[in-house]
């Protein structure tokens, strides 16, 4: 496994494919590896790490904190409401807000910790039943309530492309997320939505071309 080299390759692709490369951040998805390998990641200077399970995140965070390693943890998976309390004191961003009840719980736990937690709204663009994420009409219904929450800061949108190798479908989904961001910015957010979290190992180049600002890459780095 050549972690450093693989990360440099993805960073190079950001420059190559994104029209806004300076605004793009790589989230290294570390769910496949342990703390020893995470230290290899941190040696490259990249320190935004993504995990999709609370328990595992807790263990890795403790381990790295013991070594005084500074990490920005992004939660990227489906988050159960009853587990928010475990990560609320340190999580840097939650990519996967897909229910009002979850948003309210994050807000409550953020407040208890005197924090404002940055979040993204996860949107299910393609309508696959197996995927988490807001349908647009549900989101619009929830927005007035979401906007009242003072200890979460909604900074953008997240989506996952459907399971397909069809680049046209991937591109269509990413383009759509950008359009929704622009519309929400105009109507509700006064241009405070700046982030688009989209693109994983198999589709991040297309996501970059379509304006991704956060790409979540795991298997390509840890293969
Ligand atoms: C695992 C995971 C990723 C990374 O996927 P790779 O294909 O390994 O790059 C990105 N986002 C989410 C939500 C994930 O669960």
Ligand 1 within 6 A of CB of 106:
no
Per-residue confidence (pLDDT) for residue 130, from 0 to 100: 76
Query: What pLDDT does 131 receive?
Result: 80
pLDDT, residue 72, reads 98
Ligand 1 contacts CB of residue 44 (under 6 A): no
The pLDDT score that the predictor gives to residue 127 is: 84
- In SS3 terms, the chain reads as CCHHHHHHHHHHHHHHHCCCHHHCEEEEECCCCCHHHHHHHHHCCCCEEEECCHHHHHHHHHHHHHCCCCCEEEECCCCCHHHHHHHCCCCCEEEEECCHHHHHHHHHHHHHCCCCEEEEEEECCCCCCCCCCECHHHHHHHHHHHHHCCCEEEEEEECCCCCCCCHHHHHHHHHHHHHHHHHHHHHHHCCCCCEEECCCCCCHHHHHHCCCCEEEECCCCCC
Give the ligand 1 atom nearest the CA of 76.
13
Q: How far is the CA of 94 from the centre of ligand 1 (A)?
A: 14
Give the pLDDT score at 1.
73
219 lines ligand 1 (CB under 6 A): yes
Mutate to test the pocket of ligand 1, among 216, 217, 219 (most ligand atoms within 8 A of CB): 216
Return per-residue pLDDT of the chain as tens, 223 residues: 799 999 999 999 999 999 999 999 999 999 999 999 999 999 999 999 999 999 999 999 999 999 989 899 999 999 999 999 999 999 999 999 999 999 999 999 999 999 999 999 999 998 888 788 999 999 999 999 999 999 999 999 999 999 899 999 999 999 999 999 999 999 999 999 999 999 999 999 999 999 999 999 999 999 8
- In the reported structure, the alpha carbon of residue 186 is separated from the centroid of ligand 1 by a whole-number distance in angstroms of 30
Give the residue, by CA position, lying nearest to ligand 1 atom 7: 201
Any ligand 1 atom below 6 A from CB of 95: no
Residue 29 beta carbon below 6 angstroms from any ligand 1 atom: yes
- Residue 31 pLDDT: 98
pLDDT of the residue at 99: 97
Q: Is 77 in the pocket of ligand 1 (CB under 6 A)?
A: yes
């Amino acid at each position: 496994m050549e972690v450093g080299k693989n990360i440099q390759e993805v960073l190079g692709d950001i420059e190559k494919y994104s029209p806004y490369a300076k605004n793009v951040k790589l989230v290294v998805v570390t769910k496949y590896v342990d703390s020893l390998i995470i230290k290899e990641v941190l040696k490259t200077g990249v320190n935004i790490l993504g995990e999709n399970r609370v328990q595992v995140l807790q263990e890795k965070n403790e381990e790295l904190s013991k070594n005084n390693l500074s990490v920005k943890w992004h939660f990227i998976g489906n988050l159960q409401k009853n587990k928010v309390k475990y990560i609320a004191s340190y999580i840097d961003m939650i990519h996967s807000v897909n229910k009002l009840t979850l948003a309210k719980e994050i807000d409550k736990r953020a407040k208890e910790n005197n924090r404002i937690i940055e979040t993204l709204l996860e949107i299910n663009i393609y309508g696959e039943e197996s995927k988490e994420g807001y349908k647009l009409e549900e989101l619009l219904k929830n927005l007035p309530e979401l906007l009242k929450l003072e200890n979460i800061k909604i900074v953008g949108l997240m989506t996952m492309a459907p399971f397909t190798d069809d680049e046209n479908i991937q591109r269509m989904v990413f383009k759509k997320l950008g359009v929704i961001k622009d519309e929400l910015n105009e109507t509700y957010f006064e241009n405070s939505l700046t982030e688009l979290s989209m693109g994983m190992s198999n589709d991040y180049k297309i996501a970059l071309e379509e304006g991704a600002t956060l790409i979540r890459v795991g298997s390509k780095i840890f293969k």
